[in-house]
Amino acid sequence: MLSKTMQEALNQQVFMEAQSSQAYLAMASWAEIQPGLKGVTQFFFRHSEEERMHMLKLIHYINERGGFAVVPALEQPVLTFVSLKKAFEKLLDHELKVSGSINDLVDLSLKEKDYATHNFLQWYVNEQMEEERLARECNDKLELVGDDKSGLYLFDRDIMTMDQD
């Protein structure tokens, strides 16, 4: 059984995962209307779906542990970006915030001696390590590329394989 505090904290994470999905969906929509960014578009659409799956996993867990998962109202995400680099900087910033939130949940689970939730959250800890690595790698590559159009072409082509490493 989840404590009221833990249920509220997990529901806040449901909100954060839903916001992530919406933010990446907005990035995908923006990328889709930029010339030549088919790979980046697919990357953002896929990440939007992944975040939605993270949200659903939390919802099921809360409900299975005797709590009540709340489907949150969402804020309007940023819709446009001045550059691809800025979009990926936003992606990294967002993933760092999600990691911080997951770490806070892990800390709470240990303080409450809720070892089932602690165990459940380890999947998210590992997932966030991977998400941060990927976001940093994308930002590093975009930093190397700068404004070079052939480099952006190669980045767009290669981004889907970066996601599989």
17 annotated ligand-binding residue? yes
Scored b (16 or more CB within 10 A) or e, 131-147 reads beebbebbeebbeebee
Helix (H) or strand (E) holding 19: helix 4-32
89 annotated ligand-binding residue? no
Radius of gyration of the chain (CA): 17
Assign 74 to helix, strand or coil.
Answer: coil
95 annotated ligand-binding residue? yes
32 annotated ligand-binding residue? no
**What HEC string does 56-71 produce?**
HHHHHHHHHCCCCCCC
118 annotated ligand-binding residue? no
Annotated binding site: 17, 51, 54, 95, 128
Annotated binding site for Fe cation: 17, 51, 54, 95, 128
